[in-house]
Amino acid sequence: MHENEGESKFWFPAKRYGWGWGLANCWQGLVVQIGYVVLLIFSARFLLPRGQKTEFWTLFLVSTIVFIAIHYLKGEKPLAWRWGK
């Protein structure tokens, strides 16, 4: 399956205001963003009540680094602070 010419090749567009990425614009990006949130919610729900704070924070740190790396690799490069348009 080929991309349409008008379709963006990026999973995550750069934010219109500020620096970084906005919400995903394709299903692959949505899977990444929803998966990250679900992973953190479940890890907080099941690790923290058991007193496994070190495991929770390790998982949080590693998953956040992976999350940002995926955004950097598959997203539009946020080269500078954006002021709109």
Q: Average pLDDT in the 54-67 region?
A: 96
pLDDT of residue 2: 47
pLDDT of residue 16: 79
Cα distances (Å, whole numbers) of residue 21 to 36, 44, 46, 57, 58 = 15, 25, 29, 24, 24
Mean of the per-residue pLDDT values of the chain: 86
Least-confidence region, from 4-13, 36-45, 74-83:
4-13
Rounded distance, CA 64 to CA 77, Å?
18
Confidence class of residue 7 from pLDDT cuts 50, 70 and 90?
low
Contact 75, 9 (CB under 8 A): no
- Please check the confidence at residue 3 and state whether its pLDDT lies above 70: no
